[in-house]
Amino acid sequence: MFALNIMLARWTSAEEYGVFAVLFSVFLILAGIHNALIVDPMTVYGSQKSSVNASRYVSRVYVLHFLVASGVGLAASLVAFLFDNEAFSHARWALPIAAPIMLTFWATRRWFYVIGKPRRALAMSASYALLMTAGLVFLRWTDQLSSYSALILLAGCALLVSIVPVVRGVAGIRFQARGAINSTVIQHWKYGRWALGESIVFALGTSVYPLLIAFFGGAANAGAFRALQIIFLPLTQILISGGLLLLPWLARSRINVSDAEFSKHAWTVIVIFTGAAILYLFPVLGWAETIVRLLYDNVEYLRLVWLIPYLGLVAFLAAISAALMLILKAAERPDLVFVSTAATCIVTLTIGTALVANFGLAGIAMALVSSTMVGTLLLAWNGLRYIHAVRSKQHGQAIRDNASA
């Protein structure tokens, strides 16, 4: 996605890229439903199953996936009607096509991480990136590159990369009893009912800003803002990839190791994520203008370089939040994650909207920092309190064991 965004921002106008940014933000918000009901429960429960049970389980998950992905595609069709101005007239209809296919790619790639085959997942990602880059170059060469063609390209590449593992996974569906599928539905819903709200409000709290900027300031400003955000996308992808590897590990360790050991694992995740953020942000903040000039060479983006320190602070807080979310999800406490992300969403939709409406891009900086800070503080409170409770439980058990001895 980093290469796609860089090429689009560099090779198209700020307005055209803004259209893509807004539509992809809508997709991310809708994808929160799929993540909550399919991907997150699959990551936690799938990692606890044996290889035989895992193959049966993934077949049942694909049944749920196709139902939810179809619903997301329908929702995307309804949202497309809302973008009725000239800038969005053509590209908006690519969203309902691309959304279900992209979700299939994401779910399939995550499954390989869950069953301990990260090389397969990385192979999917690498193939997808190569196909997408070749497609973008071809569209640029034929003068067909636009927000519409970019979304269709995303869907086409995702389909090519996913089709073989999906067919293999779906092949086992006919052997599944209806009761087993219903059991999986109930299991996913029990976990996902909290994660559903958390995923939606998280997506709203983090992805709604291009929509707000487009509404109050036009698609060109939304494109310029998103172009600067993309500079921090590699860090986000590093954290996501780390989470894909570490969440199954944390989920297993919570069951298989002592409470004290799980507490150490939790702190290890926090240190890894925080350290990765510091190492990435140091050069980006130090050479911000040079990086923007090299990536885009566009005066529309250079005039907003002053936003980068604020975006850097938000990225650092997001890294801490991502680590704390992993810990709470592994502990099967998505309710605590929901509380913090709901607070972030409320601040974004109330204070954030007011700041953007009255102060424009300066309001965006204030809104991003304030909403992210609120969410991080709440996550820290709940996450660190959980780790402390785990340690206290272990300490109390040790005292009782010594007393009985």
Q: Where are the domains of the chain?
A: 2-395
User: What stretches of 35-94 show up as alpha helix (H) in DSSP?
Assistant: 40-46, 51-80
Q: How confident is the model at residue 345 (pLDDT cuts 50, 70, 90)?
A: confident
Tell which residue, 307, 333, 231, has the closest CA to residue 9.
231
What's the whole-model pTM score? 0.74
Residues 6+ apart with CB under 8 A from 81: none
What value, to the nearest 5°, has the Cα angle with vertex 331 and ends 325 and 332?
Answer: 90
Average pLDDT for the chain: 82
Q: CA geometry: angle at 89 spanning 87 and 95, to 5°?
A: 105
d(CA 84, CA 92): 9
Q: Residue 316 — pLDDT band, cuts 50, 70, 90?
A: very high
With H, G, I as helix, E, B as strand and everything else as coil, classify residue 256: helix
Q: C-alpha angle 95/189/270, rounded to 5°?
A: 80
Question: pLDDT tens for residues 114-163?
Answer: 777 778 888 888 999 899 999 999 999 998 988 889 999 999 999 999 88
State CA 329 to chain mean position distance: 14
The pLDDT confidence band at residue 33, using thresholds 50, 70 and 90, is: confident
Tokens describing residue 78: 């309804």
What is the pLDDT averaged over residues 340-362?
Answer: 88
Are 157 and 25 in contact by the 8 Å Cβ rule? The answer is no
